[in-house]
Amino acid sequence: MARPTSRFVCQACGASFPRWEGQCRACEAWNTLVETLVREPGRTRVATRTLEGGTPPTPLRDIQESEVARRSTGIGELDRVLGGGLVPGSLVLLGGEPGVGKSTLVLAAAAGIATRAPGGSGSPGGATSPGARARPTPGASTGANDAPGPVDTVLYASGEESAGQLRLRARRLGLVDGPAGASILVVAETDVERIVERARDVRPAVLVVDSVQTVALDELDGPPGSVGQVREAALRLLQYAKNDGVPVVLVGHVTKDGSLAGPKTLEHLVDAVLALEGDRGGGLRLLRATKNRFGSTEEVGVFAMGEEGLREVTDPARAFLADADRGAPGSAIGATLEGSRPLMVEVQALVAPVAYGTPRRTASGIDQNRLALLLAVLARRAGIGLASHDVYASVAGGLAIEEPALDLPLALALASSLRDRPVRPGTVAAGEIGLLGELRPISGLARRLREAERLGFERAIVPAERGRQSGEVPDRVGGLRVVACGTLREAVTLALAPAAEGAPTP
Ligand code: TYD
Ligand code: MG
């Protein structure tokens, strides 16, 4: 039975019920009831009143453009993904699998914020002009802009770990004795209302809630982490962020399939969704914005997890190659583009005759459907049949790459494994593969080629230009020879080293 303050609302039809049921009695959908806070009429009126007090409709041309004063986190790669820093009053969700390093990253960012003056990341010294402080201080009686403002503290609400554990981590990161040791305030608290209360007292520069799955509202019956709790908690924190103009960073866990645990609505609710991904065993982490109201979703940040926390990798192009290029069959290097950043990644494939039953297709970091499609194209258009083979394919380094240009390196890795012939050393490939076995042009070719050349690759296999797309494919870029292929079959022939050792490169 729900408390008087909550109802179970069907997410499909909107009908509401006093208790949870497996099936909605109104629309007969299954598992759609979510516990939702019933807002008291009084509270609703408060919200309406603030709206009424707001500005009247204004012609577009008369509206002042607001230069948002972003707050640098002191971590270049994070600022880059955020679009230049944290925007006042924004709600940012940082998602990732457990253990990937979310808490480590936010703690380091908290330290960066606490020890830096507000201002854009473009001013490394920190713009200390009071005008740059865009954070309104509602409690202050003076005008928000010329008030000296409180010390830059960061309030870190930890529901996941005890304060002691957090300190241990901070010590490992070398933050306890520095200025951050004094200005990061930790509260081990899971009640959202109390977290907001604390934040109102402290008036931090940034509020961190780690994690959204561990906090809860008292008014709801469901356990922390349930869809209703996660959503209502996020809503409450959103309200705080907007009202007080304080950026709130929410840490959120993602489930195995890569989606954020909790309601999909969480992603619509927040201003930015950052995803931290990478192999827990391996050291590298990729941070990308899957949504960003205040910046592009094109940027990625690269970190290396080490003894002293996450280190920025400022030249990441080669980072994900690990010790690839050692000429093992089943390995191919792809020139991918993550946003505006070219990254060379190793694709690995292993094919083995089926022992019994249906062949297995296991993909990691690669879309399963894309793999299935490529296997069909390889069989029908390139004479590389894998119907009676188990197939394992992955992107090295725990990356997940959705780019179409990964098709060609993946196909080459598969062909290489089946034929037991390595891809020629020094070769990089990029290209989308069509259903007819043709190679389709990809975006940003020039940028990928330049980067491959810089990293010392000797040969790039790319789609030949066709039809209207012309003048794109050069013969060579510096020391990099560019081999343009029209079809997958051709690319496979050119890419694989001959079976016999020591044959000359065509
Ligand atoms: P953590 O930030 O706790 O992950 P999350 O909050 O996403 O669950 O990081 C967990 C892992 O990071 C843990 O296995 C230990 C490792 N780690 C390091 O390798 N070096 C470090 O300096 C720190 C703090 C953690
Ligand atoms: Mg954590």
- DSSP assignment of 433-476 equals E-TTSBEE--TTHHHHHHHHHHTT--EEEEEPP-TT--S---SE
pLDDT the model gives residue 468 = 44
Q: What is the mean pLDDT of residues 197-203?
A: 95
Query: Residues with Cβ within 6 A of ligand 1?
Result: 96, 98-104, 169, 172-173, 305, 307-309
Q: What is the mean pLDDT of residues 5-19?
A: 87
Best residue among 161, 210, 305, 307 to mutate for probing ligand 1's pocket (most ligand atoms within 8 Å of CB) is 305
CA-to-CA dists, residue 113 to 78, 85, 146, 189, 234, angstroms = 12, 10, 20, 22, 22
Best residue among 100, 104, 176 to mutate for probing ligand 1's pocket (most ligand atoms within 8 Å of CB) is 104
Tell me how far the alpha carbon of residue 106 lies from the centroid of ligand 2, in angstroms: 9
Confidence class for position 127, pLDDT limits 50, 70, 90 = very low
At 109, phi and psi to the nearest 5?
-65, -40
Confidence class for position 342, pLDDT limits 50, 70, 90 = confident
Sequence-separated (6 or more) residues with CB below 8 Å from residue 250: 91, 92, 93, 94, 209, 211, 212, 234, 237, 270
DSSP string, 377-414: HHHHHSS---TTEEEEEEEGGG-----GGGHHHHHHHH
Q: Is residue 185 helix, strand or coil?
A: strand
Whose CA is closest to atom 21 on ligand 1? Answer: 309
Task: Note the helical H segments in 245-298.
Answer: 265-269
Q: Is beta strand 341-353 parallel, antiparallel or unpaired with respect to 331-338? A: antiparallel
Confidence class for position 89, pLDDT limits 50, 70, 90 = very high
Confidence class for position 52, pLDDT limits 50, 70, 90 = low
- Total Cβ atoms within 10 A of residue 494: 17
Whose CA is closest to atom 16 on ligand 1? Answer: 101
Confidence class for position 500, pLDDT limits 50, 70, 90 = low
pLDDT the model gives residue 119 = 44
Tell me how far the alpha carbon of residue 196 lies from the centroid of ligand 2, in angstroms: 20
Percent helix / strand / coil, the chain, rounded to 5:
30, 25, 45
Q: Is residue 244 helix, strand or coil?
A: helix
Confidence class for position 51, pLDDT limits 50, 70, 90 = low
Which range, 208-222, 272-286, 461-475, has the best average confidence (pLDDT)?
208-222
Q: Which ligand places an atom closest to the C-alpha of 158?
A: 2
Tell me how far the alpha carbon of residue 338 lies from the centroid of ligand 2, in angstroms: 26
For the ranges 345-349, 474-478, 490-494, the lowest mean pLDDT is seen at 474-478
pLDDT at 163 over 60: yes
Tell me how far the alpha carbon of residue 99 lies from the centroid of ligand 2, in angstroms: 7
Atom nearest to 107 CA in ligand 1? 2
Q: Cα Rg for the chain, rounded, in angstroms?
A: 26
In angstroms, the CA 477 to CA 305 distance is 34
Q: What is the mean pLDDT of residues 154-174?
A: 93
> What percent of the chain clears pLDDT 90, i.e. is strictly above it?
48
Taking the chain, what is the end-to-end CA distance rounded to the nearest angstrom? 74
Buried b (16+ CB within 10 A) or exposed e, 361-377: eebebbeeebbeebbeb
Q: Is beta strand 459-463 parallel, antiparallel or unpaired with respect to 480-485? A: parallel
Confidence class for position 372, pLDDT limits 50, 70, 90 = very high
> In this structure, are residues 465 and 392 in contact, taking their beta carbons and an 8 Å threshold?
no
At 270, phi and psi to the nearest 5?
-85, 165
Q: What is the mean pLDDT of residues 106-110?
A: 94
Atom nearest to 100 CA in ligand 1? 7
Helix (H) or strand (E) run with residue 108 in it:
helix 102-114
> In this structure, are residues 329 and 417 in contact, taking their beta carbons and an 8 Å threshold?
yes
Tell me how far the alpha carbon of residue 344 lies from the centroid of ligand 2, in angstroms: 29
Q: Which ligand places an atom closest to the C-alpha of 94?
A: 1
Atom nearest to 102 CA in ligand 1? 7
Confidence class for position 117, pLDDT limits 50, 70, 90 = low
CA-to-CA dists, residue 399 to 171, 258, 425, angstroms = 29, 12, 23
Confidence class for position 209, pLDDT limits 50, 70, 90 = very high
Residue 254 in tokens: 């993602």
Atom nearest to 104 CA in ligand 1? 2
Q: What is the mean pLDDT of residues 30-53?
A: 65
> What percent of the chain clears pLDDT 70, i.e. is strictly above it?
83
Atom nearest to 308 CA in ligand 1? 22
Residue 317 in tokens: 């192009």
Q: What is the mean pLDDT of residues 492-500?
A: 85
Whose CA is closest to atom 25 on ligand 1? Answer: 309
Q: What is the mean pLDDT of the chain?
A: 83
Confidence class for position 152, pLDDT limits 50, 70, 90 = confident
Q: What is the mean pLDDT of residues 113-123?
A: 56
Tell me how far the alpha carbon of residue 262 lies from the centroid of ligand 1, in angstroms: 23
Tell me how far the alpha carbon of residue 498 lies from the centroid of ligand 2, in angstroms: 49
- Total Cβ atoms within 10 A of residue 358: 7
Tell me how far the alpha carbon of residue 395 lies from the centroid of ligand 1, in angstroms: 22
pLDDT the model gives residue 315 = 74
Helix (H) or strand (E) run with residue 100 in it:
none
Q: Which ligand places an atom closest to the C-alpha of 159?
A: 2
pLDDT at 137 over 50: no
Tell me how far the alpha carbon of residue 158 lies from the centroid of ligand 2, in angstroms: 9
